[in-house]
Amino acid sequence: MATTAITPTSTRRELWHELAQQLRVDSVRATAAAGSGHPTSAMSAADLIAVLAEKYLRYDFDRPEHPNNDHLIFSKGHASPLLYALYKAAGAIDDDELLSLRQFGSRLEGHPSPVLPWVDIATGSLGFGLPVGAGIALAAKTIDPRPYRVWVLAGDSEMAEGSVWEAFEHAAHWQLDNLTVIVDVNRLGQSGETMHGWHVMSYAERACSFGWAAFPAVSPPSRTNRAGTARSCPIPTPRSPSSAAGETCESASPHRRRRQHGERTSSALRCFRATRSGRTKRPAAPTGKP
């Protein structure tokens, strides 16, 4: 495989950056209002989700039942504030609902659940989202042919779950080229550094060895890839599933160190309020008849 670097134009990069900042701000606002949540886990993936939402995701939030909608699965379900911030950016929920996160009776639970029409499955048990995502992708290839793509956001510590690699193997076997896993390589698990740290290529090479295409990405764009020069992997088949491992940073909050896992970040809230943008973004609708 020849690895591919993401090199957006400056204008588009600015758009992604602005959207990512908005997602971060709203993640922090929601968790601060709740008094709990996982703001840093949400913030680290904001750049990845901003690019996905602006450029790739095809989803009609007004018609969540549309069978051609893409599927977005937050396998790292504890980053739900980021998902809810995306819903707000897409105009699917309003600010009041965003700030109802984790309150009794709110649809915005601590982890995503299908009480929301845009959520396929309840996630939060790590290692669960990709196997289910592979199943949804397989359905589109076999029993109900559909043009949708399945996008799974996984944590880097989550990649230590064996079920993830079972799904990798099955997805390659079934040539699920409609499945993409995005790995948020923020270097940290619940209580410390992961086995592979920021070595994005470790994840990419593993994905390649399972017959997937891999696209290592560095984020934010100004930072260099600590993993060094990308090495080649065997060329995947045109029908390979794909993975994007993005180097990210939980210290997209003002704190270089990770705070207590799940702790709210009130000081981060103060910092990011200044950069908050009211702009909203609606991802493209899918095409085709239901």
Ligand X SMILES: Cc1ncc(C[n+]2csc(CCOP(=O)(O)OP(=O)(O)O)c2C)c(N)n1
Nearest to Mg ion of 155, 216 (CB atom): 155
For 206, residues 6+ apart whose C-beta sits below 8 A from its C-beta are none
- For the bound state, the minimum distance from the C-beta of residue 82 to Mg ion, rounded and expressed in Å, comes to 13
For residue 157, the minimal CB distance to Mg ion (Å) is: 5
Q: How far is the CB of 164 from ligand X (least distance, A)?
A: 10
- In this structure, what are the phi and psi dihedrals at residue 239, rounded to the nearest 5 degrees? -100, 20
Angstrom distance (rounded) from CA 165 to CA 171? 10
**Minimal distance in Å, beta carbon 76 to Mg ion?**
8
Q: Looking at beta carbons, which residue is closest to ligand X?
A: 155
286 binds, among Mg ion, ligand X, none (CB under 5 to 8 A by kind): none
Q: Which listed option, ligand X, Mg ion, none, makes contact with residue 158 (CB within 5 to 8 Å by class)?
A: ligand X
Beta-ladder partners of 155: 184
Give the C-alpha separation, 164 to 129, whole Å.
8
- Beta carbon nearer to ligand X, 58 or 259: 259
101 residue type, one letter: L
Chain residues that interact with Mg ion, rule: CB under 5 A:
155-157, 186, 188
Residues that bind ligand X (CB under 6 A): 41, 44, 76, 78-79, 124-127, 155-158, 184, 186, 188-190
Report CA torsion sign: 227, 231, 234, 235.
Answer: positive
Nearer to ligand X, 189 or 236 (CB): 189
Tell me which of ligand X, Mg ion, none is bound by residue 124, counting a contact when its beta carbon lies within the kind-specific cut-off of 5 to 8 angstroms. Answer: ligand X
Q: What are phi and psi of 227, to 5 degrees?
A: -75, -10
Q: What angle is formed at CA 72 by the lines to CA 85 and CA 116, rounded to 5 degrees?
A: 60
